[in-house]
Chains A and B, each alone.
Chain A
Amino acid sequence: MTLIEFISNPWPWFVSGPMIAIVMFLLLWTGENFGVSSTLRSICSMSGASKHSNYFDFDWKSQTWNIIFIFGSIIGGFLASTYIQNPEPLLINNDTINDLAALGINFNGEIIPNELFNWESLLTVKGFFIIIIGGFLVGFGARWAGGCTSGHAISGLSNLQIPSLIAVVGFFIGGLIMTFLFFPLIF
């Protein structure tokens, strides 16, 4: 097996987890910190949102590094999916496949349900919820909580922050309510 073949397989959790912590460390070492959702605020500020709220009235240029970081992550996503693409379809638990099938969401080995994530589905109720409402809630909630998975779950918990623990508990309360209460109503 060549190195390329080796790294083309999905990476196990015990490789990915520590590597994410190393990304956090690299950002600290280069004078910054790990938190992706603050880029949403920066992009709003860049686009002139400070006219509407003082929340966006800050020196967004000091966050340029983070915009460059997410731009890099998009390139990383391209490189990984183009040059070290997983040769096999995605494998997930059969129970998940069955539970989702009962809701009418079909799994076909793709990483996302293509029938829901496409331009046409934006005009359907399900597509509108999963893409537009979902995105809105992520943006609103991340900024209200002052961070997302990277800022709270990884950076915050690594630094033993109680606020981050509360936020992560909130992430799961919200995710479970959506999955078990609202999914059967939406799908």
Chain B
Amino acid sequence: MKYIKFLFTGILFGIIMTKSEIISWFRIQEMFRFQSFHMFGIIGSAIVTGLILVQIIKRKNMKNIYGSSICINDKKLSISRYLFGGIVFGLGWALTGACPGPMYIMLGNGYAVYVTVILSALLGTFTYGVVKDKLPH
């Protein structure tokens, strides 16, 4: 039962992503071609809202539902892994028009062929795990 809250948060996430058309391949193309403000507005307003929420959490030392402080870990600084990994991710994002969230949510939208997108992403993840020691991080 402790997991049911995550099911509901997930349902909310799936509805938002579907209704805002972020899951649309065409919307992602519009973004990469800078021909619509839609995606930039979504990402931008999510970050601004997120910034405010994170600042409130930190300044008020907000507790989570279990009573412990909400800690948000800093990411380890490096350039190569984020830049090169990011570029590889971007190459794929423009092709599939779906980052990992939308890949799953498209299944719920009835596009069963996205199972193959997810399986390919799993293969990509697996391959990364096998070769990661040979990559710059």
The digit string for A152-174, where 1 denotes a CB below 8 A from any CB of B, is 11111111111110111111111
* Inter-chain contacts of B96 with A (CB < 8 A): 130-131, 134-135, 138
Q: Is the CB of A154 within 8 A of B26?
A: no
* Inter-chain contacts of B90 with A (CB < 8 A): 141, 170-178
**Further contacts, 8 of them, CB under 8 A, given A27-B9, A53-B129:** A12-B20, A56-B126, A80-B19, A92-B30, A135-B116, A139-B100, A155-B72, A170-B84
- Given the known A-B contacts A72-B8, A77-B18, are A28 and B91 also in contact in the complex, defined by CB atoms under 8 Å? no
Smallest distance from the beta carbon of A166 to chain B beta carbons, Å?
4
Smallest distance from the beta carbon of A101 to chain B beta carbons, Å?
12
Q: Is the CB of A164 within 8 A of B13?
A: no
Is A32 positioned at the interface, with any CB of B under 8 Å from its CB?
A: yes
Interface bin, chain B: 35 or more
Distance in angstroms between the alpha carbons of A172 and B22 in the assembled complex: 16
- Given the known A-B contacts A21-B50, A175-B91, are A112 and B19 also in contact in the complex, defined by CB atoms under 8 Å? no
Is B75 positioned at the interface, with any CB of A under 8 Å from its CB?
A: yes
Distance in angstroms between the alpha carbons of A70 and B132 in the assembled complex: 26
* Inter-chain contacts of A69 with B (CB < 8 A): 6-7, 9-10, 13
The digit string for B88-118, where 1 denotes a CB below 8 A from any CB of A, is 1111111111111101111111110110111
Q: Is the CB of A17 within 8 A of B43?
A: yes
Is A87 positioned at the interface, with any CB of B under 8 Å from its CB?
A: no
* Inter-chain contacts of B101 with A (CB < 8 A): 36, 70, 73, 148-150
* Main secondary structure on A side of the interface with B: helix
Closest A residue by C-beta to B24:
A111
Q: Is the CB of B130 within 8 A of A52?
A: yes
Q: Is the CB of A90 within 8 A of B21?
A: yes
- Given the known A-B contacts A11-B16, A139-B121, A174-B87, are A163 and B92 also in contact in the complex, defined by CB atoms under 8 Å? no
Smallest distance from the beta carbon of A170 to chain B beta carbons, Å?
2
Q: Per a CB cutoff under 8 Å, which of A76, A175, A176 touches B105?
A: A76
Distance in angstroms between the alpha carbons of A31 and B67 in the assembled complex: 9
Show 18 A/B contacts (Cβ-Cβ < 8 Å), sorted by A: A28-B64, A53-B132, A69-B6, A79-B15, A80-B108, A81-B18, A100-B29, A112-B25, A139-B126, A144-B84, A144-B132, A145-B89, A152-B86, A153-B43, A159-B54, A167-B85, A170-B84, A171-B87
Q: Is the CB of A179 within 8 A of B89?
A: no
- Given the known A-B contacts A80-B15, A144-B81, are A149 and B64 also in contact in the complex, defined by CB atoms under 8 Å? no
Q: Is the CB of B65 within 8 A of A30?
A: yes
Q: Is the CB of B51 within 8 A of A160?
A: yes
Smallest distance from the beta carbon of B55 to chain A beta carbons, Å?
9
* Inter-chain contacts of A162 with B (CB < 8 A): 77
* Inter-chain contacts of B114 with A (CB < 8 A): 117
- Given the known A-B contacts A20-B42, A170-B86, A175-B93, are A77 and B107 also in contact in the complex, defined by CB atoms under 8 Å? yes
